[in-house]
Structure 1
Amino acid sequence: MKKIIVIILIFFFNTVFSQNNIVRGKITHGKKSLQNCNIYVANTILGTVSDQDGNFELVLKKSNIPIKIIFSHVGYQEYYVEDTFENLTSKAISVTLVEINNLNEIVIFSDKKVKAGYISGLSALDLITTPTALGDAMTAISTSLPGNQIDPNDGRFFVRGGDHYETKIFINDLNVHTPFNTNGPSLPNRGRFSPFLFDGIAFSAGGFEAEYGRALSSVLLMNTKPSPVKNETELSIKSVGLDAGISRILTKNISLTGTLDYTHLGPYRAIFPSRYKWNEDYNTLASEIGTIINLKNGFFKSYNKYDQTRLDYDRNDFGFGRIINTRIYEKNFYSNNSLNLTFNDTFKFYSGLVYSNNQRDIYGIFSDQDNSFVTDKLLHFKARGEYNFHDIKLKLKVGLEHFFNTYYINYVDHFTSNQFINKTDTNTSSSFMDVELKISNKLMLKTGIRNDYTDRLNENVYSPRVRLNYEIIPNLTISPYYGVYNQSPQNGHLIFDFEKNLKSERAFQQGLNVFWNKDKRLIYVDAYKKEYKNLVKYDFAANGTSPSNFNNLGKGYANGVDVFFWDRKSIDNFEYRLSYTYIDAKRDYEDYPGLSYPGFYSKHNASVVTKYWAEKIRSLISISYIYSSGNPYTNPNKTGFNNSFTKPYNSLNLSYSYLLSNNLFIYSSISNILDFSNIASYDYTRNPNTDGVYEEQEILPSSDQFFFIGMFYKFGGTKQIKNKINEINN
């Protein structure tokens, strides 16, 4: 009996003590309650978020010095309360946040933001539940945001007439050198990073700042998640593999996250066969570890990932007239480390360091007897300072960065007994400056310039940018812009440029952007004109594998319009996104005989994504449709280069998420539910038949449809899965 009384007393005192450590309150804007407001104690990892009614509870640690609690919500001015521990826990706090003028930042929905010239708004759950994504963040972006030429048979970004290498991807403002896994012919490339890793995503198809350089067409900015406020564990069992993740608070200021992921398509192929014979189906093993250290004036983030990919399959090459065996063994290590310091409301400092090491051992790409071993290493250092001159409403950002890139290749063609071994080192030193001047409450000037010196090219280039944001009426902003963009040639080109003739490729882009955002509705229209100069050209030898005579005589153009509409207001628990891209683009580059449509070009690209949260059956239902007007290819039975087009690409896709409990949900998706017969391209015999005709064969995707099902379970954390799903509709 005494033991029971002691247990009851301990429980009572612990309950009273914990209650006395809690600060409670409500956050509003006018009469509106603010959901998902970030509330945290300065210089610690203690934090929480407000619920759908704006209420919150925050556990404090007793302190003899004043405690500063910060209230942060995108679209509203940051607010803080600083008081003693006793005063904060003795009564409820009422906080009213004030909206920020649109010209300071454009708010799309809830806690999702962009700056002028960027499209954002996709959370991790948005990405994973987009039916076209099939669990891949990069695919969700490339098939549902404007500016992209949809090419599901490739999977990489082709933006505004630009090739895939013209898009640069940044994590925590640092370069991602190899964002996609390597794949064989007729297989789509998949992104290397999990969508659940990221807290914010912004995509720009043009007009981005000078800070993000060495990109001709577009940039994708992604930020990793902040410190967890509670320990949590996530497990998932999928039709293509398993993965697990943990988040742990180690000390008051240090947190740790880790994941382990294994993907293998072998069991899936046993049920849903492929058009290819798989000797070893596509499989990856990946591990991630990250840490966040909160400092007195900021925080340090470190994210590290290692993954290895293997595949081995046989495909029928109609041109060679035989089966070709393709094997790929890839290892990739990526380490991203950044330091963010805020000294006051006038000055911020950032520095970061990235190391990337990618090794690829590839067999059977050009023929059934070739082997290519590649090592691609990058070291990227960056530092910048941000100054805010409040009296003249001027923001200044200046920075320096350096890229060390080493590329090595050992290529053997066993059919011809030719071997090619070479290595190239490329060092680029860069500086940049971005200026933002608020001329009035309705007019803002953004301008910047970037300088890059590359020793391998022996070249110094400048890239100026300018944008004017003018708020015509409340919620409607018009932005004319102009920019010059420079990018070093691809490593695959530099390695063969023995005479060192190559210089930077260039693009000149101008456009007019109209942005309207009100009451969870958004309209984005961007008309642009782009001119390419100094594109890389070369000649091929008779065997088709030895390029030579490299130069910068290539050119091209791209004109078009991007349209995006997002509505989350008209119907309760329902949202839809409409995206359309029209483009007219030609280029003369690589071994093209003249100005022609590039192989990735499609004039019309459109997508529709719909999502409905059915509360009564605890389900999220999503339907999407993507359309592409077809890609050019060369039919040798006709005159000219890229003289024909494939038939349009169509795919209607469905996904269904069922919430079994607040910690467990099942996600399933089916691509191309109407079973459209989509053709990637055509292949032809090397020589004509007796009638003088080159025989034709369709190049089809490895499978017409893809089925995915996964079960996701979460232990702990501050947000239940139901609340995360509800964020899609709020």
Structure 2
Amino acid sequence: MQTFIISKVLALIALVMAVTMHSQTTVSGKVVYKNKGIQDVSVTLKDTYDGATTDKDGNYSFETSETGNQTIIFTNPKYVETEKPVLLTGAVVKVDAELKEEISEIAAVVISAGSIEASDRKRATVLLTPIDIYTTAGANGQVTSALETLPGVQKVGETEGLFVRGGTGAETKFFMDGNLVNNFFGNSVPGIKSMDRLNTSLFKGNVFSSGGYSAMYGQALSSVLILESIDFPERNSVDIGISPIFVSAGFQNVDEAKTKSFGVSAAYTNLGLMTEIIRFNNDFTEAPKGFGTNFNFRVKNRAGGILKYYGSFDTNKLGLEAKSLEPQTDFENTSLKGANTFHNLSFRQKFGKYVFTAGSSYTFNRNQLFLSETYQNEDQNPNSIAVKGNYFNAKATIERRINKISAVRGGFEFNNSAETTAVALSPPPYKFNEDITSVFAETDLGFSNNLSAKIGLRTEHSAALDKWNLAPRAALAYRLAKNWTSSFAYGIFYQNPENQFFGENPLNFQRAEHFILQLQKSSENRSLRLEAFYKNYDDLIKTRVEEYRPAAFSNTGSGFAKGIEFFWRDRKSLKNIDYWISYSYLDSEREFQNYDRPLFPGFAAKHTLSVVAKKFVTDWKTGFNLSYNYASGRPYYNFLTDAGGNYYLNAQGTVKDNSTLNFSLNYLPNLGKKDAKSFSVLVLSVNNILGRKNIFGYNFSNDGLRSSPILPSANTFVFIGAFISFGVDRTQDAINNNL
């Protein structure tokens, strides 16, 4: 009996196995994209665990016991999920599939020709963040000084401005939250470089375009720096800074929901002590000093719109004495009194598929220079010059997303400039007023994750010139391989002559045409950029001396700039070391302003090289930072004027190569302390630590027979300071960002 039962069970098992084996269906096929097999596509029978993954040729095969009408699902993050119906009858079934690419904002190739971006929007192209700027030796916490370590930017030490790819400092414009920032640099005297007015800590990111920039921006022949302020501070804080040069204090208050915040800060600077300790190349009759304050607020409405305001006010003074190059005068004295106020308001709101952005900025700037003799009443000094300017900018943009990587946007912009230049005891002041009205439109076209384009058009009307211009822009990006992309950018750019050149002679827009080709490789913590460019200049200003001052008489100037650039940043190869290397080669000629023939610009160098390295040692609670900057010798020219006021070249030469080695360290005494109620950083910075005597050029006497070198204010400059934030613990951020 027991044997009979066992035999029955075995027979039943055999029957079940036979039925099961008989009902298994083999499903196979090939998955392709553009006729090429795709690897790692998941092929699954819907609502079951049956399936397989495609091989390198796109083939797959699996068995299932399911029968009847079923659905097969093909999935891969890079492609659109696809479903195919299938009838399972026990016979072999073949199901092929052709997938479509999944368009993704993260995976899509980014157009980056001519552009260096550090923001939350395109992290793949992040190069310089605010913490990078603060920890770049020699940058002194300034955005523009840190940018001088990047390819395409000349390190010009005797005057402020961003000199980019053969362009003058006036050819770069600055924007904050989309609004134009006039007088981005502090007031200064010839030969001494002033600093940035805006605090680096205000910004969460920046876009620096060394050419081929968007149609949303104009009136810049060379480049634009677009700064984006933070939306809300992380938490409440009180900040104090102290050094032999300045004292500062401020606070920020933000509610828990981060829907509103406000803050105020102020700083007083005085280089008096440093002029006694450090040997300066300038003889100060009054050491540089200044006072500045700023305030801000931010409000978010229930619909997610953000209103941001920033305002500042600053004053500065200095006095200089220098040996005169003129035989009838022993010394020349120059003193400065400057004042500036800046206000910036921006609003951003999303309405369904549309994003509306509007804003305005206002600047008042007064720059008074007093030359030679000193008078009790400075306004009666016959050699005093006072320039007062009021500048207003308004801009509105609306953008609509078409899909994940395509969009269209358009808007308008209005700029007003009103300047008054007064020379004491002279005829009535010279007044200049200008209105520029601009309209722009632009589209981002995402054809696939590997191919995208940007096409834009901008038109501007100048009331002072009584003319319109039309400036097309275009760019294309294509992914060559997984980590390799190529970009090409083209554009026409216009800029008004500088305000001081307007007079009785009719003028026109100055014009530049940009061609930029870029190859970039980006991988984890490594970035390589190779870029070639060509700029063609037309209608540049030509000047001559009229009534004892340079005045523009025509737009017959021209020129070109071409070159190649290299950038490599690596945070991976050397343990706990972040470094970058940039090199630029520039070939350029210009016939403009007082140049009587095509010449290599006196503000540019053919070869520039920068090496920046940073290392944070946790055990020592200290970050060490080094930077080395090199520039081949710049040319200098001595121009004289003939009886008709026309310039002619009298003498020329080339200064020796310039180089500086800078060092800084940041010590965090609170690092590792639990429940620390404050965050402290002690900073030591030495610019040009080897004391190399660099020369930027030469000043010449009126007859061209005598000259004196143009030198930096100090060959070596040392800064020591302490910064304390109460209520904010940023120690982990400092480590993560390699402070």
Q: Normalised by the size of structure 1, how large is the TM-score?
A: 0.80
CA contact (8 A) 2:501 2:551 kept: no
Which residue of structure 2 aligns with residue 622 of structure 1?
625
C-alpha distance 299-687 of structure 1, shift in aligned 2 (>3 A): closer
The alpha-carbon deviation at position 121 of structure 1 amounts to 2.8
Which residue of structure 1 aligns with residue 731 of structure 2?
722
Which residue of structure 1 aligns with residue 178 of structure 2?
173
How many Å separate the matches in 1 of 2:117 and 2:322? 48
> Please, which runs of 5 or more residues in structure 1 have no aligned partner?
1-75, 77-97, 689-693
How many Å separate the matches in 1 of 2:215 and 2:491? 9
How many Å separate the matches in 2 of 1:106 and 1:701? 35
The alpha-carbon deviation at position 227 of structure 1 amounts to 0.9
How many Å separate the matches in 1 of 2:514 and 2:657? 28
CA contact (8 A) 2:161 2:172 kept: no
1:281 corresponds to 2:287: yes
Equivalent of 1:399 in 392, 400, 411: 411
1:326 corresponds to 2:334: yes
How many Å separate the matches in 1 of 2:288 and 2:121? 36
How many Å separate the matches in 1 of 2:538 and 2:630? 30
1:378 corresponds to 2:419: no
Which residue of structure 2 aligns with residue 457 of structure 1?
465
Query: What CA deviation, in whole Å up to 9, does each residue of 1:130-180 have, x standing for no partner?
Result: 112123332122x21111112122242111111111000101111011001
Which residue of structure 2 aligns with residue 666 of structure 1?
682
1:632 corresponds to 2:648: no
Q: Normalised by the size of structure 2, how large is the TM-score?
A: 0.79
How many Å separate the matches in 2 of 1:626 and 1:294? 43
Matched AA of 1:483: G
Matched AA of 1:463: A
Which residue of structure 1 aligns with residue 453 of structure 2?
445
Matched AA of 2:634: N
Which residue of structure 1 aligns with residue 168 of structure 2?
163
C-alpha distance 122-570 of structure 1, shift in aligned 2 (>3 A): same
How many Å separate the matches in 1 of 2:581 and 2:135? 16
Q: 3-state SS of the aligned residue for 1:634?
A: strand
Which residue of structure 2 aligns with residue 594 of structure 1?
597
Query: What CA deviation, in whole Å up to 9, does each residue of 1:617-653 have, x standing for no partner?
Result: 011000100011122112589x946731111111001
The alpha-carbon deviation at position 105 of structure 1 amounts to 7.6
How many Å separate the matches in 2 of 1:319 and 1:442? 64
CA contact (8 A) 1:233 1:244 kept: yes
C-alpha distance 507-580 of structure 1, shift in aligned 2 (>3 A): same
How many Å separate the matches in 2 of 1:487 and 1:266? 40
How many Å separate the matches in 2 of 1:640 and 1:483? 34
CA contact (8 A) 1:120 1:203 kept: no
1:516 corresponds to 2:521: yes
The alpha-carbon deviation at position 113 of structure 1 amounts to 5.2
Give matches, 1:326-345, under 5 Å: 326-344=334-352
Matched AA of 1:264: N
Which residue of structure 2 aligns with residue 352 of structure 1?
359
Equivalent of 1:677 in 676, 693, 703: 693
Matched AA of 1:212: Y
1:304 corresponds to 2:317: no
Matched AA of 2:399: E
For these two proteins, the number of residue pairs brought into alignment is: 613
C-alpha distance 365-549 of structure 1, shift in aligned 2 (>3 A): farther
How many Å separate the matches in 2 of 1:467 and 1:104? 10
How many Å separate the matches in 1 of 2:188 and 2:733? 33
Which residue of structure 1 aligns with residue 659 of structure 2?
650
Q: 3-state SS of the aligned residue for 2:163?
A: coil
How many Å separate the matches in 1 of 2:694 and 2:709? 10
How many Å separate the matches in 1 of 2:334 and 2:487? 48
Give matches, 1:491-510, under 5 Å: 491-494=499-502, 497-499=503-505, 501-510=506-515
Matched AA of 1:659: L
Q: 3-state SS of the aligned residue for 2:480?
A: strand
CA contact (8 A) 1:139 1:155 kept: no
Query: What CA deviation, in whole Å up to 9, does each residue of 1:11-38 have, x standing for no partner?
Result: xxxxxxxxxxxxxxxxxxxxxxxxxxxx
The alpha-carbon deviation at position 230 of structure 1 amounts to 1.8
> Please, which runs of 5 or more residues in structure 2 have no aligned partner?
1-77, 79-103, 375-380, 641-647, 672-678
How many Å separate the matches in 1 of 2:707 and 2:369? 27
Which residue of structure 2 aligns with residue 154 of structure 1?
159
CA contact (8 A) 1:593 1:641 kept: no
Seq. identity, %: 28
The alpha-carbon deviation at position 727 of structure 1 amounts to 3.4
Deviates more, 1:223-232 or 1:331-340: 223-232
The alpha-carbon deviation at position 299 of structure 1 amounts to 0.6
How many Å separate the matches in 2 of 1:353 and 1:111? 23
Which residue of structure 2 aligns with residue 63 of structure 1?
none
How many Å separate the matches in 1 of 2:141 and 2:474? 37
CA contact (8 A) 1:182 1:330 kept: yes
Give matches, 1:200-239, under 5 Å: 200-239=205-244
CA contact (8 A) 2:315 2:340 kept: yes
C-alpha distance 215-114 of structure 1, shift in aligned 2 (>3 A): farther
Which residue of structure 1 aligns with residue 553 of structure 2?
550
Which residue of structure 2 aligns with residue 709 of structure 1?
720
Query: What CA deviation, in whole Å up to 9, does each residue of 1:452-471 have, x standing for no partner?
Result: 01111111101110000000
Equivalent of 2:402 in 373, 377, 389: 389
Matched AA of 1:666: L
C-alpha distance 250-489 of structure 1, shift in aligned 2 (>3 A): same
Query: What CA deviation, in whole Å up to 9, does each residue of 1:584-624 have, x standing for no partner?
Result: 11111112112112220211111111000111101100010
How many Å separate the matches in 2 of 1:169 and 1:120? 19
Which residue of structure 1 aligns with residue 42 of structure 2?
none
The alpha-carbon deviation at position 119 of structure 1 amounts to 6.8
The alpha-carbon deviation at position 704 of structure 1 amounts to 0.5
Equivalent of 1:260 in 262, 266, 269: 266
Which residue of structure 2 aligns with residue 6 of structure 1?
none
How many Å separate the matches in 1 of 2:207 and 2:290? 27
The alpha-carbon deviation at position 281 of structure 1 amounts to 1.0
How many Å separate the matches in 1 of 2:604 and 2:694? 16
Query: What CA deviation, in whole Å up to 9, does each residue of 1:170-224 have, x standing for no partner?
Result: 0111101100112112211211111112111221101110001111100001111
Give matches, 1:96-107, under 5 Å: 100-103=106-109
Matched AA of 1:424: F
The alpha-carbon deviation at position 668 of structure 1 amounts to 0.9
CA contact (8 A) 2:118 2:207 kept: no
C-alpha distance 99-451 of structure 1, shift in aligned 2 (>3 A): closer
Q: 3-state SS of the aligned residue for 1:726?
A: helix
Deviates more, 1:701-710 or 1:640-649: 640-649
